[in-house]
Amino acid sequence: MTALKYSGFFIVLLLIINGKTFSQSEVFENGEELYYEVNYSFINIGWAKFTTERVTGKNDQFVTHAYLKSNSSLPYIDVNYEFISEIELQNGSVKPHKFTAYQYKEGKKSILICDFHYDSNYIYLKKTGYDNNIETDKRINTSTQFQDGLSIFYYARYNSDKNESRNVPVLMHVDTALMKINFKNANTSVDISEVDYDIASVFLDGISYFKAVFGLTGDFSGWFSNDAARIPLKAKLEVEIGNVSLELKSWKRKNWTPPRY
């Protein structure tokens, strides 16, 4: 699987935030860390971690990281990825400037870089393989603003005050694609193993118009904290052989506690 295919996995896993109206600026917090377990049925198949850092001296610019690793005790699964998205909050939108994806395997790594050139209306993509060979080197001419495999996570959280469906342009498989997100204001409850009470949350669902890792069909649903932080709590994904789930296991965010339902 290519790095962008795995970034697609991130997209579907994490397009899950609430719809209650809060200050959008509160979604982004310097030093935030979110850690999740990824499970297939009752089997833990890996983990995911997300961090947010504000660019020094720039209140509206952030560097976000995501890490995805498989359970090392399982045979036939070897996933080790790092994603970096440099984003800016501009005119009420999440605007990615650069996306980098690293895939690590047997002491080597492949690198994918996506540079967004808004002034010149194009996106430049370059993928270097494990042996330092150039696998992709191309330019996509477009005036459309796209989200990358990590910025879409923050795009969804940032727009959680909406009550509408959107078709969002995303980069996928070193090309362009669409994802439909159904933003809703339906308050509900959800439980996670790390908290001994029902958490106030908002349900969200959607579909990606492509097939990604693990045979993902495109449908997804999830529950996110019904407060200013919009923390993704749990997600369920339909795949060809069953269901994959994602659940919040630990977090680092100043003064944040999961809100009671």
pLDDT digits (tens, 9 = 90+) for 93-120: 999 999 999 999 989 999 999 999 999 9
pLDDT digits (tens, 9 = 90+) for 30-51: 999 999 999 988 889 899 999 9
**Strand 242-252 to 80-90 pairing:** unpaired
Whether 40 contacts 238, CB under 8 Å: no
Whether 208 contacts 11, CB under 8 Å: yes
Q: Which residue in the block uniquely carries the two structure tokens 């967004």?
A: 116
Q: Where are the beta strands (DSSP E) in 71-121?
A: 80-90, 93-105, 108-117
pTM tops 0.85, yes or no? yes
In the chain, where the domains are located: 3-249
Whether 73 contacts 47, CB under 8 Å: no
Q: Which residues of the chain have pLDDT under 50?
A: 16-21, 213-215
Q: What is the CATH code for 3-249?
A: 2.40.360
Closest CA to 83 of 15, 26, 9: 9
3-state secondary structure of 151: helix
CA distance 237 to 235: 7
CA 234 to chain CA mean position, Å:
13
Whether 11 contacts 216, CB under 8 Å: no
